[in-house]
Amino acid sequence: MTKVIDFQSVLEKVGKFNVKNKILLIPEMNRIGSHLLAAVFRSFGINAMVIETYKGLALGKEYTSGKECFPCQITTGDILYFLESEKQKLKEKFDPKKYVYFMPESNGPCRFGMYNKYQRIVLDSFSDFKDIKIATLSTADGYSLAGLIEEEKVRDLRKVSYWSIVVGDILDRLLWRIRPYEREEGMADEFIEESMHRMEKAFEKYGEKKDLDRIMDHLDEIVLEGKEIIDPRIPLKPKIGIVGEIYVRSHVHANQHIIKVLERYGAECVNASISEWVNYTTYDRLRDAKIGFRLNFKQWRLKQVKEYIKDMMHYRAELFYQEMMQDKIYKRARSLLDISEDHKIGDLEDILKEEDIYSFDVGTEACLSIPSIIHYIREGFNGVVNVYPFTCMPSTITSAVIRPIIADMKVPYLDAPYDSSVQPGREAAIRTFMYQAFQHFKRKGRPFS
Ligand code: SF4
């Protein structure tokens, strides 16, 4: 394929577009989170759907050079596979202008900010797909949804989207809490899949009304039913914390079901959450605003100082709201079952400062993964796994920084880099890691929840 880079196309067809009367295509990263987010969008009148994932991996590989990050290959394949299938199904009725593809981005030193530009180039190379716009959200404005729908609905859409992300995290945590202790093999997976659809319906029905109580009533029922799947005769197992790159650690096909493999060898796992990343982007914007304020104040640039004060107030309020809602939803679910709590971003930055090993100034997910590992260890976890795409920059930094520290702490640690290949030694590495985790568990016990 000859790729002609048309920068005008990137400027014109990647950005914030009103998605009214369009079909918004949401890629599946974390299965539950993506589906609940699509349900929230539908509740606000946006025709959103989650596109199937991993079936188009061959296409993704064909239209990438091999140097791109693994999540970029997967998502490129997903969108091409979907569009090809739609074209075949709808034939002459296929209208590319009906679709908007949703691909958020992040600024900073790694490559996530480039996926949607690269995918623009790929879509432009197909005459049938070049009119499909790419709607993006950026960490530069804390994933503001402004521009996607009518101005008056933006605030509510953002709020309810955030609830859906937290509820998605809770369902994931419920699954990881009950599956290692399930009465019959397969019960937990089946139950959570069905629960996800129940929560989709709840968000569709109550999302736009902002009726969190009704949504939480459904979640309560699910947590209580899920609790019944636990066989109380099965003793507690070693607890393993997972960190890493958000896409691959959350995408079960991309990480070759690492949580299930760990469970097969006797673990109970907790993966880092999706809300952690959303909270981090808001926290980081607040941090930037504070830095901008200080620098401009020193130079007495009053106009800029005023702007930064406005930003500080805005992001402080956003972060306060997010953490308050997260606490509220977790508290209610945890009153019914001891699912794991989530980290606070401010606490993670404090850990980095205390240990003096990395800085939020550098940015990237390493800011979250490095202190989260230490947080897990302080809580008494029996081992930690860092899951990431092969060659991922932030996760490689995490590994380099944490390895000597964790060796001193005498807690089992495993790096698990993934591309689509199957490494013959991986299962042996996981088994060895789990053996060490069991030894740690015998010596030290495990955290209660
Ligand atoms: S976090 Fe890793 S996988 Fe994601 S864009 Fe950055 S380098 Fe690539």
CATH number for the domain that contains residue 38: 3.40.50
Nearest-atom number in ligand 1 for the CA of 393 is 7
Residue type, 428: A
pLDDT tens-digit readout, 185-201? 999 999 999 999 999 99
Q: Is residue 52, in this structure, part of any structural domain at all?
A: yes
Identity at 234, one-letter amino acid code: I
Judgement on whether residues 253 and 364 belong to the same structural domain of the protein: yes
Instruction: Convert 400-410 to b/e letters by CB count within 10 Å (16 or more is b).
Output: ebbeebbeeee
User: Are both 252 and 108 inside the same structural domain?
Assistant: no
Q: Strand, coil or helix: what is 383? A: strand
Q: Across residues 142-168, what is the average pLDDT? A: 89
Distance (Å) from CA 29 to ligand 1 centroid: 14
Alpha-carbon gap, residue 272 to 169, rounded angstroms: 9
Q: What is the pLDDT of residue 149?
A: 84
pLDDT grade for 3, boundaries at 50, 70 and 90: low
Nearest CA to ligand 1 atom 4: 112
Q: pLDDT for 38-79, tens place per residue?
A: 999 999 999 999 999 999 999 999 999 988 999 999 999 999
Tally of structural domains, the chain: 2
Are residues 22 and 126 both part of a single domain? Answer: yes
Q: What is the pLDDT of residue 22?
A: 95
Query: If pLDDT is split at 50, 70 and 90, which confidence band does 7 have?
Result: confident
- Whether residue 47 is contained in a domain is answered as yes
More confident residue, 110 or 330: 330
Question: Which pLDDT band, with edges at 50, 70 and 90, does 151 fall under?
Answer: confident
Quickly count helices (H) and strands (E) in the chain. Answer: 16, 9
* List of E strands, 32-179: 47-51, 99-102, 133-135
Residue 5: the pLDDT is 62
C-alpha span between 56 and 59 (Å, rounded): 5
C-beta of 419 in contact with ligand 1 (< 6 A): no
The per-residue pLDDT for 8 is 87
Judge contact between 416 and 432, C-beta under 8 A.
Answer: no
Domain end point (choices 141, 173, 208): 141
Which residue is it, tokens 């306060």?
320
pLDDT at 278: 95
pLDDT band at 170 (very low <50, low <70, confident <90, very high): very high
For residues 316 and 186, give the distance between their C-alpha atoms in angstroms, rounded to a whole number.
43
Whole-number average pLDDT of the chain: 94
Q: Find the mean pLDDT for residues 309-321.
A: 97
Higher per-residue pLDDT: 440 or 105 = 440
Average pLDDT over residues 331-354: 97
Instruction: Assess whether pLDDT exceeds 70 at residue 142.
Output: no
Q: 114 CA distance to ligand 1 centroid (A)?
A: 10
Ligand 1 centroid – CA 254 distance (Å): 14
Tokens of 370: 């490095």
Q: Is 324 left (phi over 0), alpha (psi -120 to 50) or beta?
A: alpha
Q: How far is Cα of residue 393 from the mean position of the Cα atoms in its chain?
A: 17
Cβ-contact 384, 406 below 8 angstroms: yes
Torsion over CA: 24, 80, 198, 335 (sign): negative
Q: Is residue 150 situated within a structural domain?
A: no
The whole-number pLDDT of residue 145 equals: 76
CA distances from 228 to 200, 259, 340 (A): 22, 21, 18
Provide φ and ψ at 238, rounded to 5°. -60, 145
On whether residue 98 sits in a domain, the answer given is yes
Going from the Cα of 392 to the center of ligand 1, the distance in angstroms, rounded, reads 5
pLDDT, residue 11, reads 85
Are residues 253 and 372 both part of a single domain?
yes
**Distance in Å, CA 69 to ligand 1 centroid:** 6
- Domain holding 43, by residue range, is 9-141
The pTM score is: 0.95
Cβ of 394 less than 6 Å from ligand 1: yes
Out of 102, 120, 141, pick the residue that ends a domain.
141
Q: What is the DSSP pairing of strand 239-244 with strand 268-271?
A: parallel
| CB distance 167 to 36 below 8 Å | yes
395 is a domain residue: yes
Q: Indicate if 372 and 263 belong to the same structural domain.
A: yes
Residue 215 lies in a domain: no
Residues 136, 264 within the same domain: no
Given 109, 141, 173, the domain boundary residue is 141
Taking residues 415-434, what's their average pLDDT?
Answer: 95
* Ligand 1 pocket mutation pick from 103, 386, 393 by most atoms within 8 angstroms of CB: 393
Q: Does 124 share its domain with 262?
A: no
Contact between 242 and 271 under an 8 Å Cβ cutoff? The reply is: yes
pLDDT per residue as tens digits for the range 347-385 = 999 999 999 999 999 989 999 999 999 999 999 999 999
Lowest mean pLDDT among 6-20, 78-92, 392-406: 6-20
Amino acid at 115: Y
Residues 376 and 158: their CA atoms lie apart, in Å, by 30
- Count CB atoms within 10 A of the CB of residue 191: 20
Per the structure block, which two tokens stand in for 281?
């982007």
Does 134 lie in the same domain as 26? Answer: yes
Instruction: Answer yes or no: are the C-beta atoms of 221 and 350 closer than 8 Å.
Output: no
User: Does a structural domain hold residue 191?
Assistant: no
Check residue 4 and give its pLDDT: 57
Residue 220 domain-assigned (yes or no): no
Q: CB of 218 closer than 6 A to ligand 1?
A: no
Per-residue model confidence as pLDDT tens digits over 221-271: 999 999 999 999 999 999 999 999 999 999 999 999 999 999 999 999 999
- Same domain? For 137 and 240 the reply is no
